[in-house]
Structure 1
Amino acid sequence: MTPAMPRIRRRDPVPCGGGWPDTVPPLLRRIYAARGASAWELAQPRLAALAPPDTLTGIDAAAALLEAAILEDRHIVVVGDFDCDGATACAVGVRGLRMLGARRVSHAVPNRMVHGYGLSPALVEELAALRPELLLTVDHGIACHAGVAAARARGWQVLVTDHHLPGQQLPPADAIVNPNLPGDAFPSKALAGVGVIFYVLLALRRRMREAGRFPGGVQPDLTTLLDLVAVGTVADLVPLDTNNRALVAAGLRQLRAGRGCAGLRALIEVCGRQPACLTAADIGFAIGPRLNAAGRLEDMALGIECLLTDDPERARELAAILDGINAERRAVQQAMTDDAEAALARARLDAAALAPCLFDPDWHPGVVGLVASKIKERLYRPVIAFAPAEPGAAVLRGSARSIPGFHIRDALAAVDTAHPGLVQRFGGHAMAAGLTLELEKLPAFEQAWQAHAARVLDRAMLQAELLSDGELLPQELDRFHAEALRDGGPWGQGFPEPLFDGQFEVLDWRVVGERHLRLRLRHPGGREPLSAIRFGGWQGREPPRRLHLAYRLVPDDYRGARAVQLTIEHFEPA
């Protein structure tokens, strides 16, 4: 199956409106308006504009449970998840409860290879040694019926905080907070798991303040946790709606000012990023993957420890370990992706394979999501990648990634409804989901999955598209506009980083790092040459003399230079 070739489509112009500060250049106003932010307060929302917590279903019950546990000095165990959102949510939960007066707070996280996903009965059995009285799940729990029931059977209270889509039945928890519960009135359905627990802490603080629990009226400043909220939100690829952008922007301001927790400061250092100009992209491509790598290949307890320590030296040690695990993860991911692409080539899949299912008995279950994502980007089709839950196991763990218009969690639900018992369990979102499956049922699942995809997928949806913000004028290809674009975010899912297109003359080119293409270009109306790079762009042949590019304009500080660079996302002959 050949790679999908995207087409470039320019966004429709949208009126910018008035009331913009003079410091916002017209280019940025145009970009904001194209993303639905027609006024400054929508483009750069502040914390004062956050949706109030009281519209979240179950949040009052959650706050009451936590307040009682704190007042009675009960043992609270925060149970995290093994991805970046789950790790940051765990750190926010532990740090926030301690700030609010909890003295007996522990944390735990499932090991992917030992316990499987979330609050499982196996994890509950292991947690018994801690003698918890209240379990607080973060970034999971809404699908953990058996684990919640096992904890309740031991006499423990369970508070579930999650953001994943619920099934037809809810787990038997004492309280559940999830913006995606049926009938929930909270306006931001895009909260990440770390955002949900932050909101629960806000509600708890308000309850304790109204009850006069803070001597002298001095209450803890929970905004100090927003560095962690920002990292988890960006890394989980949830849409950056107005509410999430306010949270992420505030967290980025803390990180840029050097006020992040010791672990995040150490991770920024090991990534080689500059804190003063840190962006959401730095979180998504550098910090998040290093935290995620621990949960994929090792134990996310390492990542959570890094986020909880206040010792800078210990934080640096842990960040270095996470950096090494991430390097190993990249090697494993590349080998698995190569295997997947070779399997696709051998199978000679034709256009009928609308939603490929991939499996290899030697793959690592912690990396299948990355493989699915890579193949999805290459083919621009929904993809599920499977691996044994552990070496030689008869149970598979699958990770699914989708394209716009094909809700992959709902697709799994449709298959499960049509074929009861085929899938052991599943959960997720519109664009990403996970499932477990018996190995012997893989052929039947693939047949059912392809049949559902054939019914639902419109072939027009399989055309990859790059949405461009149009052409930049020669005078806009400068440092001022590059910095304005960089600092005008946070950019991310649902509020995409600006992308431009246009025709350029290729003055010269060279291959760097074996796979990347470095070019020197000239804009038709410009005088000065422009530096550009296309990562992974070397195709074994000389590029055409004239190119139509889709690109991003970014500052280039290499070796102290204050220049600009075009980062090319796609090129084709002009």
Structure 2
Amino acid sequence: MKPAEIRRRVAVDCGHAWPVHLHPILARIFAARGLAPGDVKQMRLADLAVPSALGGIERACDLLAAAIAADQRICVVGDFDADGATGTATAVRGLRQLGARDVCYRVPNRFRDGYGLSAGLVESLADVAPDLILTVDNGIASHAGVAAARERGIGVVVTDHHLPGDTLPDADAIVNPNLPGDGFPSKSLAGVGVVFYLLLALRAHLRAAGAFAGRAEPDLSVLLDLVALGTVADLVPLDANNRILVEAGLKRIRAGRCCAGIAALCKTAGRDMTRAVASDLGYALGPRINAAGRLDDMSLGIECLLTDDAERAGELAERLSAINQERQELQSTMVEQGEAMVTRFIERYRDGALPYGIVLSEPDWHPGVVGLVASKLKERLHRPVVACAPVGEGSSEWRGSARSIAGFHLRDALAEVDATCPGLIARFGGHAMAAGLSLDEANLPRFAAEFDAVARRRLDPELLEHHVWSDGELDAVDFTVDTAQALRYAGPWGQAFPEPAFDNVFEVESWRAVGERHLKMRLRFPDRAEALDAIMFNALEVMPPPSRLRAVYQLDLNEWNGRESLQLLVRHIETI
């Protein structure tokens, strides 16, 4: 494998002056992300795209308003990831705020029910007997489930953000910004974002009908902490619309106005709510919610987000943290096995013949964690990776989770495999960067060959070159706590709007291993009196570090005893 190459982002010259109050480094960073001076303004909820632009939303509001007026039972059917959990909690809380008195929820069990609104899940709803089903973060591919519900006289409103197939389910209403011809300007809404928009539209619909006469209109902004968490955790691109949603949610969290569950999750994760940023949601809170759906029952995560009892939220957050610890240990073992397989791949194929699209499988892998394994190995190989595991011990049905690199659309690739080899894949769905599928164990070898063939047709070899992106060098005067704080809160940073990273040459004054896998260093920089503290996680491959190196790093703030100090978070090292 060729080592990663450092590349610097190029700032786009927009021909206009940046605001004088803007830190010059931030101006450089924003320009490199395609923003113009006019785009740098306070993120206001008033600047969100209007809900009425979402196709199908009027019909969905008609159905929900009628259900509320008739005191019908509404069952929210969610998904077993953080986006689905936050979306389910948002839907349940929001519908109750808007006057629905009979709202329940159900999330499929990953191992028993599979994904989405299946016919089996509809059958299991006999005990709650809903009049109307509202899907969140699923449903766009649930043809059988929607048909089963309609046969039982149950209405179905689908809210989803996944890409549709060639045909749509026969639902009573579908709200999805990614439907062909839909005019909504932000195609990157997460599932929780779609249902939040539906709630906004429903409030306007009820307002016009006079439903709030004599009482205060519900404040749906109280749901934005949930919207922020689900949006960041689902790794959807943080376009301008999503950044507004996430920043609004983060402001609620920092102000201590979030729900009891998010507050409890912050506490168990050791994160200071008053300093919360998007990475806290993505790396600390999101995995704890996700762990419930991967190894246990996502209802634990949803209940944590629904309860208003701080003590109950704390108990649930502790249980989620314990499950997440179990997930981390299981994932670590699976990643080690996967890395050993990757090493054998590299030794067997070398650079020239390594598959473009890689499929890995092990009979003792856990199907709830294969997505994380695929993600880790994708980062190492910089190629699309599908990790597969049996649904249960001795089962011939295997589940695969896929992660991709820029330039390779996973769902389209799986659709091509399905079109070329009908019946090879039983089911599939997802996004450009992440997807899931199921297939028979006997089809694994052929699927691996077909997936690689599609990747070879669709991927330019240049896209397989691994690049580490930098926003350029910093000067000695830039290594300050003030600069780090300005960068920290200038986001929110995330998918498709990456956190600033820089590269410079340093002398290594000293180093030591921390916890066997991590590297702690003191780096000397020209024209700076004091050396800089730096840490690099999972740095076994660069220990011991060279005496002189070029590092790609982020300016980080290390808090200890109430004081903040500057620390470099090193992402990549090159020997000079």
TM range (shorter): over 0.9
Deviations 1:527-564 (A, max 9, x none): 21100001011337431111101000011113433210
Percent identity reads 58
Q: 1:7 to 1:369 in 2, by over 3 A?
A: same
Partner residue in 2 for 1:84: 82
Name the SS of the counterpart of 1:113 in structure 2: coil
Partner residue in 2 for 1:105: 103
Partner residue in 2 for 1:372: 374
Contact residue 78 and residue 138 of structure 1 kept, 8 A: yes
Q: Which of residues 334, 337, 340 is equivalent to 1:336?
A: 334
Does structure 1 residue 279 correspond to structure 2 residue 281? no
Q: Which of residues 153, 156, 163 is equivalent to 1:155?
A: 153
Partner residue in 2 for 1:526: 528
Contact residue 386 and residue 398 of structure 1 kept, 8 A: yes
Give 1:22 shift.
Answer: 4.9
Partner residue in 2 for 1:448: 450
Looking at structure 2, the residues matched to 104 and 529 of structure 1 have their Cα atoms a distance apart, in angstroms, of 62
Looking at structure 2, the residues matched to 498 and 370 of structure 1 have their Cα atoms a distance apart, in angstroms, of 24
Partner residue in 1 for 2:252: 254
Does structure 1 residue 24 correspond to structure 2 residue 22? yes
Question: What amino acid is aligned across from residue 256 of structure 1 in structure 2?
Answer: R
Q: Which of residues 53, 56, 60 is equivalent to 2:51?
A: 53
Q: 1:540 to 1:281 in 2, by over 3 A?
A: closer
1:143-222 equivalences in 2 (<5 Å): 143-216=141-214, 218-222=216-220
Name the SS of the counterpart of 1:329 in structure 2: helix
Partner residue in 2 for 1:416: 418
TM-score (norm 2): 0.97
Does structure 1 residue 33 correspond to structure 2 residue 31? yes
Question: What amino acid is aligned across from residue 543 of structure 1 in structure 2?
Answer: P
Give 1:43 shift.
Answer: 5.5
Partner residue in 1 for 2:498: 496
Name the SS of the counterpart of 1:562 in structure 2: strand
Q: Which of residues 468, 471, 474 is equivalent to 1:472?
A: 474
Name the SS of the counterpart of 2:250 in structure 1: helix
Give 1:457 shift.
Answer: 1.7
Deviations 1:357-379 (A, max 9, x none): 01111111100000000000011
Name the SS of the counterpart of 1:544 in structure 2: coil
Name the SS of the counterpart of 1:372 in structure 2: helix
Q: 1:20 to 1:461 in 2, by over 3 A?
A: closer
Looking at structure 1, the residues matched to 467 and 16 of structure 2 have their Cα atoms a distance apart, in angstroms, of 31
Give 1:74 shift.
Answer: 0.2
Deviations 1:282-331 (A, max 9, x none): 11100000000000000100000000000000000000000000000000
Looking at structure 2, the residues matched to 219 and 5 of structure 1 have their Cα atoms a distance apart, in angstroms, of 57
Does structure 1 residue 292 correspond to structure 2 residue 290? yes
Give 1:33 shift.
Answer: 1.9
Partner residue in 2 for 1:14: 12
Where does the alignment leave 5 or more consecutive residues of structure 1 unmatched?
A: none
Question: What amino acid is aligned across from residue 460 of structure 1 in structure 2?
Answer: E
Looking at structure 1, the residues matched to 88 and 309 of structure 2 have their Cα atoms a distance apart, in angstroms, of 18
Contact residue 11 and residue 29 of structure 2 kept, 8 A: no
Q: 1:473 to 1:419 in 2, by over 3 A?
A: same
CA RMSD of aligned residues (A): 1.4
Partner residue in 1 for 2:572: 570
Q: 1:515 to 1:166 in 2, by over 3 A?
A: same
Partner residue in 2 for 1:458: 460
Contact residue 136 and residue 159 of structure 2 kept, 8 A: yes
Q: 1:473 to 1:107 in 2, by over 3 A?
A: same
Deviations 1:480-536 (A, max 9, x none): 000000011100011110010010111111111111110001112322110000101
Give 1:31 shift.
Answer: 1.1
Looking at structure 2, the residues matched to 212 and 41 of structure 1 have their Cα atoms a distance apart, in angstroms, of 37
Partner residue in 2 for 1:435: 437
Partner residue in 1 for 2:137: 139
TM-score (norm 1): 0.97
Name the SS of the counterpart of 2:214 in structure 1: helix
Deviations 1:100-157 (A, max 9, x none): 0000000110111111111111111111110001000000000111111111111100
Q: 1:116 to 1:205 in 2, by over 3 A?
A: same
Give 1:17 shift.
Answer: 6.3
Looking at structure 2, the residues matched to 158 and 471 of structure 1 have their Cα atoms a distance apart, in angstroms, of 54
1:528-547 equivalences in 2 (<5 Å): 528-539=530-541, 541-547=543-549
Partner residue in 2 for 1:238: 236
Task: Tell me the matched-pair count.
Answer: 572
Contact residue 491 and residue 497 of structure 1 kept, 8 A: yes
Contact residue 78 and residue 87 of structure 2 kept, 8 A: yes
With 21-30 and 5-14 compared, the bigger mean Cα shift is at: 21-30
Contact residue 15 and residue 30 of structure 1 kept, 8 A: no
Question: What amino acid is aligned across from residue 160 of structure 1 in structure 2?
Answer: V
Contact residue 124 and residue 150 of structure 1 kept, 8 A: yes
Looking at structure 2, the residues matched to 124 and 520 of structure 1 have their Cα atoms a distance apart, in angstroms, of 59
With 202-211 and 440-449 compared, the bigger mean Cα shift is at: 440-449
Looking at structure 1, the residues matched to 333 and 446 of structure 2 have their Cα atoms a distance apart, in angstroms, of 27
Question: What amino acid is aligned across from residue 154 of structure 1 in structure 2?
Answer: R
Question: What amino acid is aligned across from residue 321 of structure 2 in structure 1?
Answer: D
Q: 1:437 to 1:563 in 2, by over 3 A?
A: same
Question: What amino acid is aligned across from residue 385 of structure 1 in structure 2?
Answer: A
Where does the alignment leave 5 or more consecutive residues of structure 2 unmatched?
A: none
Question: What amino acid is aligned across from residue 81 of structure 2 in structure 1?
Answer: D
Contact residue 399 and residue 433 of structure 1 kept, 8 A: yes
Partner residue in 1 for 2:310: 312
